[in-house]
Amino acid sequence: MIRARKLTVDEVSATAAWIASIQLPNGMIPWFPGGHADPWNHTEAAMALVGAGRRAEAELAFRWLAGSQLPDGAWCRYYLADGVEDPRRDPNVGAYVATGVWWHFLCTGDSGFLEEMWPVVEAAVGFVLRLQQPGGEVLWSMDPDGHLGRYALLTSTSSIHHSLRCAVSIASRLGVERPEWELAADLALDAIVRRPDGFATKQRWAMDWYYPVLSGALRGPAGRERIEARWGEFVMDGLGVRCVADQPWVTTAETAECALALDALGMWAEAAELLDWTRHLRVGDGSYWTGCVHPECIRYPGGERTTYSAAAVLLADHAIYSGPGSAGLFRGTWRTSVEVAETGEVAEVGEVAEVGEVAEVGEA
């Protein structure tokens, strides 16, 4: 039997407080103190804050996104406290705002916030669609002068596919029809499933392995087959997921995200066990090391604890153990936590009702 431990209330609170402590007064959430921020990981951190009940800090983070969005609907790749570090545009980091905004709604049921963020989401999706190719793949970048990147990335297009689905859900909730967004999501799905050779080769990276599953592009037997095919390459038993297949570097974020992918496939026991392995990367203040190199578990990069790593754990913990409601963001079963609470529904099979309880999740 696998004994997986949900984060306790105090552990969730400590991790969310640590993320909030790194946030700048303007709302930007850098990777670590003095470090840079990118809009994707910034949004991930904001999502974690929402899920942990820190709405004020989360909404300040979303408003930073609104204030820093460029006229073309994009964002720059990296920001520092005093300005832009890398001015290139990355459609994936911009598209993710739709995922973040929809997650906020699933957690809170706040339609007013959806309305406030709608212009931001609409502009972001408009930029993404301009970089989508006829085959459905989305070019990974655009220079400030408009020069487009030469190739598309599977991880990026997979994440964009999920974000487009979230954007369609936002539009539908607000009574707006966006059939071109649905078509764009379908085209991205077709590229991921039917034309994987249309993407640059990044097969040594774990994200290229599990993101087609995490994004909802691959479900059921096809998703399980993809995960099982390279499980032995990427997973170090009892430790977590390697960032790249050819190095013994286990990272917190990849481990938590892969757990989300397993949960999306209905592999609850495996997801809970995998997420539990991140505990050896947890620090007493609630933060998480970015990763460590085994067998010595040398912290790498040296001394680096990152907000996106902590955020990934909080999101995975929420999704795996929360049952109906906001956890459906990654399972594709979307109703708000408020709606679920109003129905009085009980948790799904496998949910741990009491925070901190040890879950018996079946055979390994």
For the chain, give percent helix, strand, coil, nearest 5. Answer: 55, 10, 35
Is 336 a residue whose pLDDT tops 80?
no
Amino acid at position 83, single letter: G
User: Any idea of the CA torsion for 70, 74, 75, 76, to the nearest 10 degrees?
Assistant: -100
pLDDT in tens, 14-52: 999 999 999 999 999 999 999 999 999 999 999 999 999
Report whether 45 contacts 61 (CB < 8 A).
yes
Name the strand (E) or helix (H) holding 275: helix 268-276
pTM here is: 0.92
**Span 74-89, mean pLDDT?**
97
pLDDT of residue 4: 80
Rounded to 5 degrees, what angle do the CA atoms 209, 309, 336 make? 85
* Residue 244 confidence (pLDDT) above 50: yes
Task: Tell me the C-alpha distance between 140 and 81, whole Å.
Answer: 25
Report how far residue 29's alpha carbon sits from residue 285's, in angstroms, rounded to the nearest whole number. 18
Q: Are 171 and 181 in contact (CB under 8 A)?
A: yes
* CATH classification code of 3-360: 1.50.10.10
**88-102, 174-188, 347-361 — which is least confidently predicted?**
347-361
**Average of per-residue pLDDT across 72-84:** 97
Compute the radius of gyration of the chain from its Cα atoms: 19
Q: Where are the beta strands (DSSP E) in the chain?
A: 3-5, 76-80, 83-89, 235-236, 240-242, 249-251, 291-293, 298-299, 358-360
Instruction: Quickly state the pLDDT bin for 353 (edges 50, 70, 90).
Output: very low
**Structure tokens given for 325:** 């409601």
Instruction: Say how far apart CA 159 and CA 309 lie, in whole Å.
Output: 17
Q: How far apart are CA 228 and CA 259, in angstroms?
A: 13
Predicted confidence (pLDDT) at residue 347 exceeds the cutoff of 70: no
pLDDT value at 165 more than 50: yes
Q: Where are the domains of the chain?
A: 3-360
Q: What angle separates helix 39-51 from helix 55-68, to the nearest 10 degrees?
A: 160
Cα(65)–Cα(95) distance, rounded to whole angstroms?
Answer: 12
Instruction: Compute the distance between CA of residue 182 and CA of residue 141 in angstroms, rounded to an integer.
Output: 22
